[in-house]
Amino acid sequence: MSEEEIRKKWQQNPMLKPRIEKIVVNISVGKSGEPLERATKVLEELTGQKPCKRKAKKTIRDFGIRKGEPIACLVTLRKQRALDFLQKALEAVDNKLSKSCFDEHGNFAFGIKEHIEIPGMKYDPELGIFGMDVCVSLCRPGQRIKYRRIERKKKIGKHHKLTPEEAMLFIKELTGVEIV
């Protein structure tokens, strides 16, 4: 399907136009204690929300990780905060994304090697430098029927599922990113 056909389809039926459901920003430190606290501060400065900590699922002796030990922190952003952060995070990767970043459901993820590449962030020697993963989940209006609890869950029809091509076009229009 060409870009023009997709745009025409979106204009005819606004329920088919994708939107950003959520953005998950993750910093995996691999250690608990002071490094994790510094990563939590960095994530809070970046997003304006308090991060939650994630625990190790299993023990890995070679890395010195025990099961149940907190080793990562993450934040889930929605609505306007998500869009604002996405625009800043894409500037850190020079507004370029690879086609391989997109999965078959239209979601995409990319990594940032150093958090100081994000505009507005300055290097603080007390905090150090952290890399992060940014995962963006896209959906169409009406996607909620797949996850709701009160009524019976329903399946989403194959024509209402989001394709990678539609997701690429939507992100290109929304943020002006270049897909390589």
Ordered per-residue pLDDT tens for the chain, 180 residues: 788 888 888 888 888 889 999 999 998 887 778 888 888 988 888 888 999 998 888 888 887 778 888 888 999 999 999 999 999 888 888 888 888 888 888 899 999 888 888 888 888 888 888 888 999 999 888 888 888 887 788 888 888 888 888 888 898 888 888 888
Cβ neighbours around 142 below 10 Å, total: 13
Contact 162, 169 (CB under 8 A): no
**Which domain range does residue 153 map to?**
3-179
Number of structural domains found in the chain: 1
Rounded to two decimals, what is the model's pTM? Answer: 0.86
Adjacent-strand bridge partners of 178: 96
Cβ neighbours around 60 below 10 Å, total: 13
Residue 148, domain CATH: 3.30.1440.10
- Contacts within 8 Å (CB) and 24+ apart, 89-93: 89/25, 89/118, 89/134, 90/175, 90/177, 91/118, 91/119, 92/117, 92/118, 92/119
Contact 140, 170 (CB under 8 A): no
